[in-house]
Chain A
Amino acid sequence: MTGTVVPRMSRGVRFHRDPDGSAMLLVPEGIVRLNDSAAATLELVDGRRTLTAIVDALCVRYAVPREDASRDVDDLIERLSRRGYVDR
Chain B
Amino acid sequence: MNAPRPTSLLCELTYRCNLQCPYCYNPLDLESYRDELPTETWLRVVAEAAAMGILHVGLSGGEPTLRRDLPEIVAAASRAGLYTNLITQGTFLDDARLDTLLAAGLEHVQISVQAPTEALADQIAGTRVHANKERAIERVMRRNVALTLNCVLHRGNHDAIADVIAFAERHGIAKLELANVQFYGWAYRNRAALLPTREQIERALVVVAAARARLAGRMQIAYVLPDYFGDRPKACMNGWGQAFLTVTPDGRVLPCPAAAAIRTLHFERVQDRPLAGIWESSESFVTYRGTAWMPEPCRSCDRREIDWGGCRCQAFLLTGDAGATDPVCGLSPEHERVIAALGVDGGEPLIPRRMKQPV
Chain A residues within CB distance 8 Å of chain B: 10-14, 16, 18, 24, 26, 28, 30-31, 81-84
Contacts and interface: CB of A to CB of B under 8 A. Distances in A.
Contacts of A24: 55
B146 A11 contact: yes
Given A28-B175, A31-B7, A84-B174, 10 more contacts: A10-B146, A10-B174, A11-B145, A11-B174, A12-B145, A26-B56, A28-B110, A28-B146, A28-B148, A83-B220
Contacts, number: 40
A16 B175 contact: no
B246 interface: no
20 contacts: A11-B144, A12-B145, A14-B107, A16-B55, A24-B55, A26-B55, A26-B83, A28-B110, A28-B148, A28-B175, A30-B7, A30-B8, A30-B56, A31-B7, A31-B56, A82-B216, A82-B217, A84-B174, A84-B175, A84-B220
B11 to A, nearest CB: 15
Interface string B73-100: 0000000000101000000000000000
B108 interface: yes
Contacts of A84: 174-175, 220
Chain B interface SS verdict (over half)? strand
Contacts of B216: 82
Interface of B: 7-8, 53, 55-56, 83, 85, 107-108, 110, 144-148, 174-175, 216-217, 220
Contacts of A26: 55-56, 83
A11 B109 CA distance: 11
Contacts of B145: 11-12
A31 B8 contact: yes
Nearest to B222: A29
Contacts of A13: 146
Interface centre among B7, B8, B53, B108 (most CB of A within 10 A): B108
10 A-B pairs with least C-beta separation = A12-B146, A11-B146, A26-B83, A84-B220, A12-B108, A28-B108, A31-B7, A28-B148, A30-B56, A30-B8
Nearest to B144: A11
B173 to A, nearest CB: 11
B175 to A, nearest CB: 6
A8 B53 CA distance: 26
A12 B148 CA distance: 10
A13 B56 CA distance: 12
A83 B174 CA distance: 11
Contacts of B175: 28, 84
Contacts of A14: 83, 107
A85 to B, nearest CB: 10
A31 B56 CA distance: 8
Contacts of A12: 107-108, 145-147
Nearest to B8: A30
Contacts of B7: 30-31
A31 to B, nearest CB: 5
A11 B145 CA distance: 7
A26 B57 CA distance: 10
Contacts of B147: 12
Interface centre among A10, A11, A18, A83 (most CB of B within 10 A): A11
Nearest to A26: B83
Nearest to A14: B83
Contacts of B108: 12, 28
A82 to B, nearest CB: 8
Nearest to B82: A26
B148 A31 contact: no
A13 B108 CA distance: 9
B129 to A, nearest CB: 23
Contacts of A82: 216-217
Interface centre among A13, A16, A30, A81 (most CB of B within 10 A): A30
